[in-house]
Chains A and B, each alone.
Chain A
């Protein structure tokens, strides 16, 4: 193995330990990833960012100078930020998002900006204006979305860790489809300042990593109050680095609506899920069925609320303050708005703006938006009731393993159902983590692909969530990078 490949075989936490021990330098570590990212064969990167002039890695900083890649939805001062959209193709923000700034303050080096579904709307990364991202496990398949570039980059060995955002499952589902750990923290745990808004009452950023410890490390640096985002409240007590090795005394609930009875869960996914449950019992957990009676209405409520919020948030892309403008000298203001948005926004974004505008329009507001907000309350109540009897809930993250490129592109509703198991948690604002729990073949045949186990905790119980995930991770012994080496999955062209 070359030195670069050797360094890239380490988890982020391992690499930081070795940098501190003087085995290699942060400069060598960063160079290995910049070299690999430069050979990106997955369309995961929109831009690989060079080391800043005068950048001096500090081995004593929490991240010791390690390179981290960022979903292109986070504003980065002076570095193009597109949100996967033509309308922002040439946008260079004058400021940096708080979550990114905290990683930089913690000693990270900005490795690059990652491809994504336009404005984070999608579950396959096929909605990017800059082309689809390929899944490193099988290039005919999607990496999931909307943080598809983040997942593909980490799973393909092109970044040690990445930042994503999750509105209805956009960290967890791609993490599951690419064999990674993906954490969506509690709504409000991490500032949304500088994160281009999709649905403000649901959006939350979080890490996609190889290990649970890596996810804990990055989240612990990012969480906290922010005077620039009044909804950012942080996590009381912060996030501890997980060290638990058993699940003794923990009660795990399996909501039948999202696991047992749920329709559309592939046989292979179900088998791996059940194997994971058996393992949890071996680790000392008490596993029992529970219910979330309103969870099956999650997708319906979500596809009213998220588009409604998006239709308001995306009104700012109007050709005035940033981004594309399409007009001629005869255009009046309204025509400029309409032509700019028609040319700059893609079909899925237009569809959701239309859906949201319709749901909020006079005469329909109560029937759609008002009703969906009430369903949201009922779903939150269901979780509260379940957490009276259980410490954590577990479900499959995604009903299927990675699907083929184009398989759901023509059917918006089929695409939306990809988030069936993740959306209810988003509506309730709860923290959840997807943990790789093995491989399974798709129902329609093909190679074995990663399956994700979703673990859900009560609000702000991230440390409990990460501790349990760490214990299961150790017992499962599934390491994406090791499997990748074994089966020769790489995200880069041969150099």
Chain B
């Protein structure tokens, strides 16, 4: 059942992503990207990452895509332009490049999944996925499985506290930068 849901969502994600890049008009393109993000949120739930799924819907499908649609509407870009889609040999080059990257990623996946399977096969790792974390001894694995938020919050606010605080500076810089760039006259 889980696999059936996964493959349905995966097919929806790939189909929406393809439709996103071939649409002439930017508005349907953005809406197909929202559909991809919702499908990915469903896959995150299947992968036992409920917090990330909620963040995906709130931040990506909510905030970021609304920002995109807002700019499309503000600049009145809701119509197709003739020079937008490239034609000729560049199409072949793009498809070949994408296929090459996919092939390279498949090759990496095969090696990484093989080595991961060897690691997961080890009994202590299989019993606790947290064993790979630095400072994992302090976190009890039973809590990790009953409370997914706590199991993310612990590494975020213990091991990665400084990067977490630095993201606030990044967001402030981005907000100020966006205002400065978009303003006609300061």
Q: Do A and B come from one complex?
A: no
